Structure 1
């Protein structure tokens, strides 16, 4: 499945990328599984998306939990709990 990834604030700064289109394996079906899959990239990905780090996620502009399902063509965003304006 292909999804759109968006990264905001400090997450974007750590990764050095604001957005990406990604081909996700079929066994990645939730936001939590997606986060774990991205962490496996290592380096800044493992640090920015680390399991213990406070991080908010959204699917198609709605706040998501780790068990929120993702689907082909959806947009998933990662951002810190508080962002500046």
Structure 2
């Protein structure tokens, strides 16, 4: 499947791009993260600690164990705070 992957804040800085279109066989968001980690040092650094990252699938806050079936967009971002 082809996914648009978006990176925000310090994750974007470590990966080096704001977004990329990738072809993947990942079944879950966690599987996708494992594929991304293997791409290069920037991706590995960005996804070193999943406790400090949130994921959204098609603009809905999701869990890393959620399936990617039918998903078109995956976004990774730091936890949000309110004010």
TM-score range, shorter chain: 0.7 to 0.9
**2:72 match:** 74
Shift of 1:42: 3.0
1:10 aligns with 2:31: no
Q: Which has the higher helix share?
A: 2
Moved over 3 A (4+): none
Distance 1:15 1:23 in 2: 17
Shift of 1:61: 0.4
| Deviation string, structure 1 residues 21-45 (Cα, Å, up to 9, x no partner) | 00102xx110011011101113011
- Partner SS for 1:38: helix
Unaligned runs of 5+ in 2: none
TM-score, normalised by the number of residues in structure 1: 0.85
TM-score, normalised by the number of residues in structure 2: 0.87
